[in-house]
Amino acid sequence: MQRLRYIKQLGCASYVFPSANHTRFEHSLGVYFITCKIIEKIQSEIKKNYRDQISDSEFKELKKAMKAAALLHDIGQTPFSHDLEPYLYDFFLEKIENDDLEDAAAHELLSKLIIQKSDRISEIFNEHSIDKELVGNFITGKQLENYEYIFAQKVINGDIDADKIDYLLRDAYFTGVPFGNIDYNRILDMFTIWDDGQALQLAGIKKGYNAFESLVISRFQMYTSVYNHHTNRVVSTMMLYAFTECLKDEEKKDPSWLLYNIDDSIVSRIGSRDGNKLREIAPKKLGIQILFRNLYKRFLKTNEEILIKNVKIKNLMNRHKPFLYNNQFKIINEIGEELSNKNIITRTESLNHNIPYILIDIQKEKYFKDLNFVLIDPKDPDMEEVPHLKYIGRFLRHIKTDKPIIPWISYAFIQNKVNNRINREIEMSVKNYFNDNLGHEFWE
């Protein structure tokens, strides 16, 4: 848990927003606080209306699991937050249960794994009679054996939950952008419990629609303006390349060592490596470039409209998932070889031990999905669902959010000191490479 003090909440975003130095530790405490507030609100609701479905003793156990999940939900976060997840995720893949893989994010799976394997956490959980499996499933969103507890899971991992309330407020405050100014007190007041006929659900009261809507829209705006800012993406891509190259031959690439012993100081450690083997030069140079903010520049951007609206390209991207996900650095090296063969750059510059001329940003993260948070009108005798919030969720998904469906190639980046002629030739080579391998043009 203390490792989170040294992992920034927004990873590489501090290279764009200098004041964004808040940590995952602070965020975890914030999620715990908000979870406790939500528990207070729904506890009175359950005692008043649903005591026959959830007993006092059951809710007492659920409270402990919710609070533990809130505090530990980010314990599996990687250095620079989500940016190094793809690498560590591949390391841990064989240790993660198959039925956990479909919907959970990488850091959620790693958090659950730590909770399951940590002797210290097991000791504390046993002392306080906390269900370790339930806490892990609250974090990953895995379907619960007892579906009656779904409302408790949604407090931790839902469409509108304690995690999103805290990170939107915190990230907006520390970056200085105006998008996360949500009325969280109003949202907390408007949480309620709704029986959908199968189980109790975490829901919202209809008259709080504007507060819930502002959270949904703020999240969308934060992704487009902060989390996916192109400078944030270039630092992330440089960091991922340096990190993976650096650890190729590390004796300590044991997954447990990686997860428990690395934090955001990894970039300084990479930049100050003493190794002088050829394969160690590239990560060291990239680490130094990151430290001194000598960054690559964006020279190609995905045409999102084509990717979102063209069914043919969606299917094409899905068919090429293994090629895109597993060969990101192979793609970079192959393009470098092609550039040297055409004498656009020298062969020495294209070798793997030097800094690559180009980097490709291929994202796996699931940014948005269908919004299933329910608003109800307590004055309605049947307590029927009011679909207003679903409409705004579908609207945002329509304009931006098919990203979960396909591999998402966002940008191509190039070294900063490249003249315009070489830049144009490299641009054509990159476009041709992807056209030849994927069979379609999708760059702007």
The superfamily CATH assigns to domain 2-229+366-403 is Hypothetical protein af1432 (1.10.3210.10)
Q: Which residues contact 114 (CB under 8 A, 6 or more apart)?
A: 72, 75, 76, 121, 259
List the one residue out of 217, 171, 165 whose CA is nearest residue 188.
165
- Distance between first and last Cα of the chain: 43
Residue pLDDT tens, the chain, 444 long: 888 888 889 988 888 999 999 999 999 999 999 999 999 999 988 888 888 888 888 889 999 999 999 999 998 887 776 666 666 666 665 555 555 555 667 778 888 888 888 889 999 999 999 999 899 989 988 877 777 788 888 999 988 899 999 999 999 999 999 887 789 999 999 999 888 778 888 988 888 888 888 888 888 888 888 888 888 888 888 887 777 766 665 544 555 556 666 666 666 666 565 555 444 556 677 777 777 788 888 777 765 655 555 555 556 555 555 555 556 666 766 776 666 665 555 544 444 446 676 777 776 654 555 577 788 877 775 655 555 555 555 545 544 444 444 445 566 676 666 556 666 777 777 777 777 766 666 566
Domain boundary assignment for the chain: 2-229+366-403, 296-364+407-444
Report the amino acid identity of residue 143: Q
Q: Are 274 and 246 in contact (CB under 8 A)?
A: no
Instruction: Quote the DSSP letter at residue 443.
Output: B
Q: Give exposure, 25-58, as e/b (b: 16+ Cβ within 10 Å).
A: bebbebbbebbebbbeebbeebeeebeeebeeee
Greatest CA span in the chain, whole angstroms?
A: 76
